[in-house]
Amino acid sequence: MPMMTAFTFPGQGTQYAGMLQQLPSHPVVRHSLVEAQRVLDQSLGMLDTPSALTDTRNVQLALLICGVAWGRYLQTLGCTPDYVLGLSIGAYPAAVIAGSLSLADALTLVDLRGRLMREAYPSGYGMLAVTGTARRCVEAAVARCQALQLPVYLANINAEYQFVLAGEHQGLQQAVGLIRAQGACSSTLLDVAVPSHCPLLARQAEQMLDACNAIEFQPPGCGYVSAARARVLYQPQAIREDLALNMARQVHWHDSSQMLAERGIRRVIEVPPGSTLTGLFRRVLPGGQCYAVASTQLATLLHGNRT
């Protein structure tokens, strides 16, 4: 019996300069790159330079193109997903690989998404990862900050003791101080310039919904998992709304990965450029095969570790 497989697609913070120059040499990849360049009407080399990647619009487009190119390449090699699951912007390449959204339409939507997010919060805001503490401690610190009128929110629940906060930089640092007052933890300011997955982007999410409503979506060819709802979606309208509104919705990655484990997933492949999602999945699928394409030999990805 074939092993049940899920593809995961990372979000912002995983990008690096030159990522689009390191894609596989294969006709399906070249076709994807040509299509992307045609739709965007710009050289893709202008998306992944160090200076270009300071712009969230370029980051999101580069992640979309990279995810679709790698996903299609794996599919040509016979590695096809039963489910796809994307984190934030990763939901867009997930929808393309599932067959629910065309690459051309995804490029148009992500171009708009990036511009809306950039213009909403050009500076002073971002996201911060917190690990090694309990959820109740994080929620208490966030509630305290909000009582002080500081725009800070719990954006991602990635694992039992791993969270991401979103908001204004000063508020994020105050929240970390409050969390540390309750016990030891570590924190890292992420390479993300926008406070995603919280009400600060509610207005931009509604604008995205208007744009998505003008796009034709198809029923997916595999299970599309909403990281915001921790549910498998099969209806085009449900996927449309999930993509449009995910920028303002809390991410429930831990619940989503647990749900897939309960559905019988035994192999999880994280599409480049990320590897963090692989580590998260190993915690809920200790007996499964969890691979990041960026650090795994192709034979292992296709056939598993036989040692």
Any idea which residues carry the catalytic annotation? 88, 197
Distances (CA, A) of 96 to 67, 231, 300: 9, 18, 24
| Main-chain phi, psi angles of 85, to 5 degrees | -145, 120
- Which string of b and e fits 13-50 if b means at least 16 CB within 10 Å? bbbeeebbeebbeeebbeebbebbbebbeeebeebbee
Question: Is the bond preceding 273 in cis, omega lying within 30 degrees of 0?
Answer: yes
DSSP-based helix, strand, coil % in the chain, nearest 5: 50, 15, 35
Write out the E strands in 141-279: 152-159, 162-168, 186-189, 223-226, 231-233, 267-270
**Do residues 142 and 163 make contact, with C-beta atoms less than 8 angstroms apart?**
no
DSSP strand pairing (5-9 vs 267-270)? parallel
Write down the residue that tokens 């999880």 correspond to.
268
Write down the residue that tokens 């208007």 correspond to.
210
**Do residues 85 and 127 make contact, with C-beta atoms less than 8 angstroms apart?**
no
Which amino acid is located at 151 in the chain? P
- Residue 25: DSSP 8-state: -
Residues 6+ apart with CB under 8 A from 89: 11, 12, 59, 60, 63, 64, 110, 113
DSSP strand pairing (289-292 vs 267-270)? parallel
